[in-house]
Structure 1
Amino acid sequence: MARPVISYRYSSLPDHCIRLLRLIPHWDKTAPLQCSLFTSPILISGRASHSYEALSYVWGSPERTHYVCIDNCELPVTASLHGALSRLRDSLIEKIVWVDAIYIDQEDLGERENQVQCIAEIDAKASRVLVWLGEEKDDSSHDADGADEPVLALLERPWFTRIWRLPPPNTSLWSAVPPD
């Protein structure tokens, strides 16, 4: 008998707080993504109250065809976000990540409007911002006939066409293999 699927429900977000995702480690890269979500004040004495990494990525198709398990409930996410979190998940160490599509209750228009205004501050307070460029395509990381083609293929990825959110100086770019 299959277990009933329980959809994740957001609790209200207190003023001057953000939601952070605790990405639970797993040795099996294909295992379902297990997470917990917690609320943290954005600032204490001018600093972020909890160390976290912010994730920047291209949403891609708006269809939410994948799931992450948050506190034993399922939350639908895009294929792009699922791929990023799958690659970011470590086999031994939990990661604390701020992810816009999960941190903001996308169904609550008021919260979404308020929180989008804080994204630059959230990125600035992160220990680093990780940019998910997506899975490797067309051998874009291989040097076939010189360095120009792979660089151009990299720069043609959709993330580089986003102009609404520029990365802060503490940004790490990665594709297929996350940084240490």
Structure 2
Amino acid sequence: MPDDPRTAMLTTDRLVLRPQREADAEVFRQLWTERDERVPSHRRLSADGRPTVAEIAEGIRQDRAPEQPGLLTVVLRDTDEVIGYCGVVFDGDGERPELAFELLQAAHNRGYATEAGRIVIGWARDHGYPLLWATVWEWNLASRRVLTKLEFVDTGVVTKESPHGRSLLMMRDVPA
């Protein structure tokens, strides 16, 4: 890729997607508190309240994969309010670019996830990613609707099945 993806700043009429800052950790922790009880325990707060804001901030400080886009903080353009994250991450083997997003519940049902996803898809296209993947819990109808609006299609592949449900693999072409 020609430029450093960690410096990406993407804008829409209503949103700014920018690199994460340590100060975003408070909102990111709030996301952990709002997660559905069906989400696996390693993605929810532990009994002792972890991860803490400090632990999340430390994760933001660490530059684990500077050559990959990672997650951008989603900010309301008019108010500078942080409402979540959206970006491209890679699966365990580093081969499959995946669209990922999560917004505070107060920001749901306003089209922000779709808007953020569209600009990230455009960024992926501009940086030579021919397709994007997404995994989503079968029961997460809101996220599945967002992915459908973003022209992702269900591949028919279940990436994991557990007491938490089935995780579906979706994909979309990103034509140049």
* TM-score normalised by L of structure 1: 0.29
Q: Which has the higher contact order (CA 8 A, sep 6+)?
A: 1
> Normalized per residue, which structure has more helix?
2
Which structure features the higher share of strand residues? 2
Q: Which is higher, the Rg of structure 1 or of structure 2?
A: 1
